[in-house]
Amino acid sequence: MSLIRQVWLLLVVTLTVAFLGAVGVSLSTAREYLQTQLTAKNNDTAQALALTLGQQRGDRTAIDLMLASQFDTGAYQRIELLAADGSRLSSRVAPARASAAPEWFIELLRIEPATGVSQVGDGWKQIGRLEVVSQVSYAYEQLWRGAQVTTGLLALLALLTGALAWAGVRRIRQPLEAVVAQAAALTERRFVTVSEPQVPELRDVTRAMNGMVTRLKAMFDEQAGQVDQLRRRANCDELTGLSNRTHFLSRLKAVLGSEDGPASGALLLIRLTDLQRLNRRLGHAGTDALLRDAATALIESAARNPQPEVGRLNGSDFAMLLPDAGSLREPAVDVGARLRGVLRQHGVDSSAVVGAVRWWHAAPVSSLLAAADQALARAESRGAFAVEVDDSGEGLVLGQEAWRQRIDAAIVAGRVRLMEFPLVAADLSEVHRECPLRMQLDEGGEWLPAAQWLPMARRVQQMDRIDLIAVTQALSAIAQDGVPRAVNISPGSLSEADFLPSLRALLWERREAAPGLWLEMAESGALRQLQAVRELAALAHARGARLGLEHAGHELGDAGVLLEAGLDFVKLDASLIEGVSADSARKEHVESIARMLHGIGLQVFAEGVGDEADAAALWTCTLDGLTGPVIGRLLQDQAS
C-alpha cells in the first residue's frame, strides 16, 4: 500500500472513530440526562401528590378525583395508591405510548427512570403508598431528534475536517509526486531538478534528490566531455580539428558501402600549393593560423550540403565528402573562391587547386580516390585556383515522377523484402537480426539496396509508407519464428502526420510479436528532431519494442540531447570502429563511448565489422554485440 493511501486510511479511521465516539458520548449523555429528569419528575410528583392526598382525610372520592386530575395533566403511564397489604386503593394506568423513534434506537438506548414513591397519611394514620411512573416515549422522541441533529452537525464537521485533510495530504503529495517523477526521469536518462517544498522533512528529501541528480549530470557531462576529447584525438587532425586521413577514408568507405546511405555524391580533393614556401615566409605559427582559417572556410562551404565530411589528408591536402550533391562544379568553385579570400587575408601570393569527382553507391574506394587524384593533378597543371571536374560516373537520370511511379509499382506488386544479417553477442548467440530493405524496381530485375532508391523515395515522400511495410514484414517474421528483428525508420517519416498513429495501430494489431521488434534511426537525423523521437520511443515502449540509433558515434558528445531521446541502444558507425585493433586511440575512444552509454543504461553494438582482429579488439571494449561481414564468417566457422 502506498504512503498516501496509508495516510488516507489513517485519516479515515481517525475521523470515523472520532465521529462515532462523539455521537456515542453525546447520546449517552443525553440519555442519562433524560433518565435523571424523568426520575426526578416521578419523585417530585409523588411527593406533592402524597401531601395533597393526605389532606383529604381518607375520602376515597376526593382521592380518586385528585389522582385523576394529576394523571390527566401530565404524561404519566401509571399513578397508583396502594394499601399496606399491596391492594390498589386507587389507580390510573395508560397503555405504553408508541414512540416515533425507531425500535432499534429504543433498544440501543433504553431509558429506565426510577418509579416515584411516597407515603400517604392522615396525621399519624398511614393511608397507603403512592407510586408514579411517567411515559418514556416522549423522551425517546426527544433523544432521537437530538441524535439526528448531533449526527448531522458532526457529519458536516467531519466533511470540513476531511476537506482540510485532503488539502493537507495534497500539500504533502505534490512534492512526493515531484520526487517520484524525478526518479522516473532518472530511469529514462533525464536529469531533472524540482523546487524544494516548505515541509522540512520533504524539503530534506527533495534537496538530497536534487543534489544526487546534479552530481550524476555533472559526472555524465564530464564523461561525455572525455569521450569528445578522445574522439578528437582518435579521429581529428590536431591542428585544424578536421577528420584525419584514417577517419575520413573510413567515413568514405562506410558511406559507399552503406545499405541505406546516399546513392551518389561528390568527392573533392583540395590542395594548398607550395606549403613549404608559405612556412618559410609566415613562420610556423603563421602557417598554422592560415591552415586553421582554410579549414574553417572548407567547413563553411561544406555546411551548405547535408551531412558533409571534411578531412585533412596530409599537410597541404584536404578532402570533402558531399552526399547527395547535385552539382560538382558549384561546390568546387565555392571552395576555390573561399580559399582565395583566406590566402589574400593572410597576404600571401600562394594558391589552391580543386579536383572533384562524382561517386555512386558501392563504388571501389581505390578507384574513386585515383580518379579524384587525377582530377586534382589536372587542376594543378592548369594553374592557380583551377577547378577540375570529372562527372563521368553512371547513374539513373529519371525525373521525380518517373521515380514515384517505379517505387509505387514496386510497393503495389509486393517487390519489397527484408534481408537478414545476424547481430551476435560475445558468445556468438544471436541478439537480433539486422533487416535492411531491398526493392525490385523492375519486375524480374535486381533486388537493389536502399542506397540506390532511398534518396528518391525520400524526395517523392514515400518513406513513411515504405517504413510501415518494413515494420509489417518484420512483425510477421517475428510471429513465425520468435527471432527479434531490427528495421530502420527514416527520420523523415516522423514528420508525416499519419505515420505514428499507423505505427501505433500496427503494433497493437501485432502486439504478440511487438516485443521482438527493434526500431533504429540514423543518428544524423534522429537527434535533430528530439520531440518526435521521444514520441516514437514512448509508442515503442508501450508495446515492448525498442528504439535506438544506427550509424552513431559522431554526435554522442551532446549529453543533453542524448539523454532526452529515450533510447534503448546505440549502434556505432563502421567508420568509428574500422582499424580499432591497430589504433590505440580509436580503441580508447570506443571504450569510452561504451562506458558512457552503459552508464545510462543503453546497449552498445558495432556495425559493419569486417576484420577479425577488429572484432576481437571490440569485444574487449565491452560492447554488447557486433554485426558485419566478419560475423557471417565466424558463424560459419562455428558451424563447421
Show the cell assigned to 465: 509508407
**Three cell numbers at 385?**
585556383
Residue 309: what are its φ and ψ, rounded to 5°?
-135, 125
pLDDT at 189: 65
Residue 343 near residue 351 (C-beta atoms within 8 A) = yes
Q: Taking 80 as the threshold, does the pLDDT of residue 128 lie above it? A: yes
Question: Which whole number is the average pLDDT over 186-206?
Answer: 73
Query: 389 has which bridge partners?
Result: 356
Over residues 284-291, the mean pLDDT reads 92
Helix H or strand E segment including 165: helix 137-187
How do strand 430-434 and strand 421-424 relate by DSSP bridges? antiparallel
Q: Record the cell numbers describing residue 231, joined without a space.
A: 574522439
- Given a cut of 80, whether residue 3 has pLDDT beyond it is no
Task: Give 547's strand partners.
Answer: 519
Q: For residue range 81-121, what is the model confidence (pLDDT) as tens digits?
A: 888 777 888 888 888 777 778 888 878 888 888 888 888 87
Name the residue with cell 582499424.
579
Tell me the percentage of the chain whose pLDDT exceeds 70.
Answer: 95
Q: Which has the minimum average pLDDT: 141-145, 204-208, 407-411, 463-467?
A: 204-208
Give the confidence band of 398 by pLDDT, cuts at 50, 70, 90: low
State the cell numbers at 601.
543504461
487 pLDDT band (50/70/90 cuts)?
very high
3-state secondary structure of 356: strand
Confidence of residue 71 (pLDDT cuts 50, 70, 90): confident
Banded pLDDT at 394 (limits 50, 70, 90): very low
For the chain, which residues make up each domain, given as ranges?
Answer: 3-159, 241-390, 400-639
pLDDT tens digits, one per residue of 314-354: 989 999 999 988 888 999 999 999 999 999 998 888 889 99
What top-level class would CATH report for the domain 241-390? alpha beta
How many beta carbons lie within 10 A of that of residue 317, not counting itself? Answer: 16
Burial label for 497, CB within 10 Å (0-12, 13-18, 19+), is exposed
What is the rounded distance in angstroms from the CA atom of residue 34 to the CA atom of residue 141?
11
Q: Which segments of 317-454 are extended strands (E)? A: 317-323, 352-360, 387-390, 416-418, 421-424, 430-434, 437-439, 448-449
CB atoms within 10 A of CB 351: 18
Longest dimension (CA), the chain: 161
Q: How confident is the model at residue 508 (pLDDT cuts 50, 70, 90)?
A: very high
pLDDT confidence tier of residue 482, bands split at 50, 70 and 90: very high
What is the rounded distance in angstroms from the CA atom of residue 110 to the CA atom of residue 544?
67
Distance CA 369, CA 423 (A): 31
Q: Would you call 179 helix, strand, or coil by DSSP?
A: helix
Q: Summarize the confidence of residues 153-182 as an average pLDDT.
A: 79
Quote the DSSP letter at residue 491. Answer: G
Helix (H) / strand (E) element for 91: namely strand 88-93
Residues 547 and 519: beta-carbon distance below 8 Å: yes
* Mean pLDDT of all residues in 7-13: 77
Mean pLDDT of 135-160: 85
What pLDDT, in 10s, does the model give residues 440-480? 988 888 898 888 788 778 878 888 999 999 999 999 999 99
pLDDT of residue 396: 41
More confident residue, 199 or 634: 634
Length of the chain: 640
Q: HSE on the CB side for 2, CA within 13 Å? A: 8
Q: Which of 585, 557, 590, 584 is nearest to 572 (CA)?
A: 590
pLDDT tens, residue by residue, 606-621: 999 989 999 999 999 9
pLDDT of residue 17: 84
Short-list 344, 338, 355, CA closest to 304: 338
Q: How many CB atoms lie within 10 A of CB 66?
A: 19
- A 10 A CB-CB count for 543 gives 18
The CATH number of the domain covering residues in 400-639: 3.20.20.450
Nine-digit cell string for 626: 557486433
pLDDT > 60? residue 75 = yes
Q: How far is CA 501 from CA 24, 168, 617, in A?
A: 61, 41, 43
pLDDT at 63 (0 to 100)? 79
Averaged pLDDT of the chain: 85
Q: What is the CATH number of domain 3-159?
A: 3.30.450
133 — phi, psi (to 5°)?
Answer: -130, 125
| Spatial CB neighbours of 111, under 8 Å, sequence gap ≥ 6 | 31, 34, 35, 38, 136, 139, 140, 143
Helix-strand-coil split of the chain, %, nearest 5: 55, 15, 25
* 46-70: average pLDDT: 81
Closest-CA residue to 146 (of 97, 101, 96): 101
